[in-house]
Amino acid sequence: MQMVSRSTAKRYAFPKFPLYFTSSSSFLRSSHSLHPPNPNDIHHDVAYFNRLLHLRPPPSIIQINKLLGSIARQQHYPTAVSLCTRAQSMGFKPCIVTLNILINCYCHMGPMSFALSLLGKILKNGNQPTVVTLNTLIKGLCFHNKVGEALDFYDDLMAKGFKLNVVSYNTLVNGLCKNGELRAAKRLLQLMKGHGVKPNVVTYSTVIDGLCKDGLLSEARDLCSQMIDGGIPPNIVTYSSLIGGISRFGQWKEATGLLNEMILKNVNPNVQTFSILVDAFCKEGRIIEAQAIFAMMMKYGEKPNVVTYNVLMDGYCLMNNVNESKEVFNTMVKSGLKPTVISYNILIDGYCKVKRVNEVLDLFEDMRCKHLVPNVVTYNSFIDGLCKSKSMKISYVQDLIHEMQASGHSPTIVTYNILLDAFCKRQLLDKAIELYTHIVDQGIQPSLCTYNILVDGLCKGGRLGTALKIFQNLLINGYCLDVRMYTIIINGLCKEGLFDEAINLLSKMKENGSYPDSVTYEILIRALMKKGENALAEKLLHEMVAKVIFSDMIYFLSYLFWFLNFKNPDDQSEQATIYRSEKRSEMEKGREIQNSGKLCGSVEYLSV
């Protein structure tokens, strides 16, 4: 955190902002008795402030600050700045509290140069900024994602002998963690001790949360132990972060153990803690455990919130159990909670995935009745459902895209990819190419997924030449192509009988840093065995055995049993069916060969 010199404006200047003023006539018509400001009505607060300015004798700066602070807390920052300017024009002299309020306003509004100029004014007048002043500026820099500048500012303050508190450090640590700079956050945590500021549970929990989100569980556990050794017990945030991180890695026993530990230590889990666990179990398809946590939550008197219901709904939809998901949705409504757009998105996506598109129309209507505006995700899910429906009509999809645009949502590359995929799967290749041209003309950058969809459609539609041109252009333009793109082209070459070109491309993809997976090998070995190139197929098998993840091997071996005995893998004759049935029982022997490492004889074994 070496200090970097910066130029900071020293002028004490205020930009112009719109201000609500009452005319003198309206002021005279109002009662001379002053009513307290209404915290929910900015217009009343402004009128009250203007009446204060006209009082004789004038009010104290404390009264002015109180009202300015109230307006700033309502997030009417430009109004607070303008009112302060008016007060100064009428002879009110700002104190350090007034300047702190203004600095806070500028920190929220931006640019930060205005806020820093006020610090310059404080110093120029021979005054010392309070720790509140400095903390507000640090928070403002972090709020505007200027964490590097916040660290420079911190170095500057340390060099000039200013004293900061734990809030200052917590703000910087939080900014670093949100920026993914966990190493710097950990260094700062140690550095603050050297400056006589003891980290608190917030400091530790912030870093622990960042480590957990980054998958650094071992470091998170070590830091938690360090915190406990320092006499600081974990709080609900610490436990929730650890439980969330551990759950994401499938370490359920430890996660539930932590839940029990926090309960024993009288750290009562809250709705967020339970929701984290429900979400983690749902994402792993462990819906029974998710239901158990949900029931446990109710037992401890924690009412599920919309997030909890949403993750449970999503869990059922991931298992294609959209009926149960709808039941959870209905339970949420009956409990008095209002579903959000996310709630509807989950259901809409669930119905679309099981091809029950008609129910989606009812959900759209329900959203309108509840004054919920569908977002891009809502429209994309519905468009995807329509495109995958057997009765899909392009006109319906186009109408939905027009409605999407009319509601203020521009189609994204995801929207176009969905439509492009539908065209390619229906072999409407001219429409697909036309859509791709439209995407480019709109100034939207096609993603790698866009190219994968288009090239795959062209290859399967017998337009290998066009697909190869696109592929070559991507390589020339420096695109880092993934294994899927190479596999698509290899498959296209094999279908056209261009085996030498396919094998050459296999070598080329390795040179370009993209390594084949089991699907790539399967395509090539299928094609080679059809052609009778058993020796080359065997060579590729050994290569696959050496490089491909073992979990893919068992899947692939089942194909190979068939290829080595029947030249036509599409044969559905009785003999072929009986043979496949017999060979399934031999899969365990194949697994033993795989696990023992005796793979050199696998081809000979499989061909017996």
Q: How far is residue 366's CA from residue 371's CA, in Å, rounded to a whole number?
A: 9
Cα within 13 Å of Cα(230), Cβ side: 16
Peptide bond into 111 cis (omega under 30): yes
For position 46, what pLDDT does the model report?
A: 82
For position 19, what pLDDT does the model report?
A: 35
Instruction: Output helix, strand, coil percentages for the chain, rounded to the nearest 5.
Output: 70, 0, 30
For position 242, what pLDDT does the model report?
A: 93
- Candidate from 132-136, 479-483, 516-520, 580-584 with smallest mean pLDDT: 580-584
Most confident of 460-474, 535-549, 559-573: 460-474
In the chain, where the domains are located: 1-129
Predicted confidence (pLDDT) at residue 485 exceeds the cutoff of 80? yes
Q: How far apart are the first and last CA of the chain?
A: 67
For position 372, what pLDDT does the model report?
A: 92
Predicted confidence (pLDDT) at residue 584 exceeds the cutoff of 70? no
Where does the pLDDT of residue 195 fall: very low under 50, low under 70, confident under 90, or very high at 90 and above?
A: confident
Predicted confidence (pLDDT) at residue 489 exceeds the cutoff of 80? yes
Q: How far is residue 377's CA from residue 389's CA, in Å, rounded to a whole number?
A: 18
For position 34, what pLDDT does the model report?
A: 40
Q: What's the Rg (C-alpha) of the chain?
A: 33
- Candidate from 36-40, 160-164, 343-347, 377-381 with smallest mean pLDDT: 36-40
Where does the pLDDT of residue 416 fall: very low under 50, low under 70, confident under 90, or very high at 90 and above?
A: very high
Number of other residues whose CB lies within 10 A of the CB of residue 267 = 17
Number of other residues whose CB lies within 10 A of the CB of residue 116 = 22
Predicted confidence (pLDDT) at residue 439 exceeds the cutoff of 80? yes
- Report helix, strand or coil for 347: helix
- Candidate from 8-17, 370-379, 400-409, 410-419 with smallest mean pLDDT: 8-17
For position 559, what pLDDT does the model report?
A: 53
Q: What percent of the chain has pLDDT over 90?
A: 40
For position 464, what pLDDT does the model report?
A: 94
pLDDT digits (tens, 9 = 90+) for 253-264: 888 888 888 889
Where does the pLDDT of residue 56 fall: very low under 50, low under 70, confident under 90, or very high at 90 and above?
A: confident
Where does the pLDDT of residue 2 fall: very low under 50, low under 70, confident under 90, or very high at 90 and above?
A: very low
Element (H, E) at 259: helix 252-264
Predicted confidence (pLDDT) at residue 545 exceeds the cutoff of 80? no
Where does the pLDDT of residue 325 fall: very low under 50, low under 70, confident under 90, or very high at 90 and above?
A: very high
DSSP secondary structure of 366-393: HHHHTTPPP-HHHHHHHHHHHHHSTT--
313 closest CA partner among 291, 293, 302, 328: 328
For position 576, what pLDDT does the model report?
A: 52
Q: How far is residue 98's CA from residue 242's CA, in Å, rounded to a whole number?
A: 41
Contact 459, 434 (CB under 8 A): no
- Which one has a higher pLDDT value, 316 or 26? 316
For position 554, what pLDDT does the model report?
A: 52
pLDDT digits (tens, 9 = 90+) for 58-92: 888 888 888 888 888 888 889 888 888 888 888 88
In this structure, what are the phi and psi dihedrals at residue 355, rounded to the nearest 5 degrees?
A: 60, 35
In this structure, what are the phi and psi dihedrals at residue 142, rounded to the nearest 5 degrees?
A: -65, -40
pLDDT digits (tens, 9 = 90+) for 238-254: 999 999 899 888 787 88
- Which one has a higher pLDDT value, 581 or 545? 545
For position 608, what pLDDT does the model report?
A: 28
Cα within 13 Å of Cα(599), Cβ side: 18
- Report helix, strand or coil for 336: coil
Predicted confidence (pLDDT) at residue 235 exceeds the cutoff of 50? yes
Regarding pTM above 0.85, the answer is no
For position 92, what pLDDT does the model report?
A: 83
Q: How far is residue 418's CA from residue 227's CA, in Å, rounded to a whole number?
A: 49
Predicted confidence (pLDDT) at residue 585 exceeds the cutoff of 90? no
Contact 141, 104 (CB under 8 A): no
Find all residues with CB under 8 Å of 337, minimum gap 6, and list them.
Answer: 305, 306, 309
For position 454, what pLDDT does the model report?
A: 95
Where does the pLDDT of residue 23 fall: very low under 50, low under 70, confident under 90, or very high at 90 and above?
A: very low
For position 587, what pLDDT does the model report?
A: 44
Number of other residues whose CB lies within 10 A of the CB of residue 185 = 22
For position 206, what pLDDT does the model report?
A: 95
Angle at alpha carbon of residue 356, lines to 325 and 389, rounded to 5°: 140
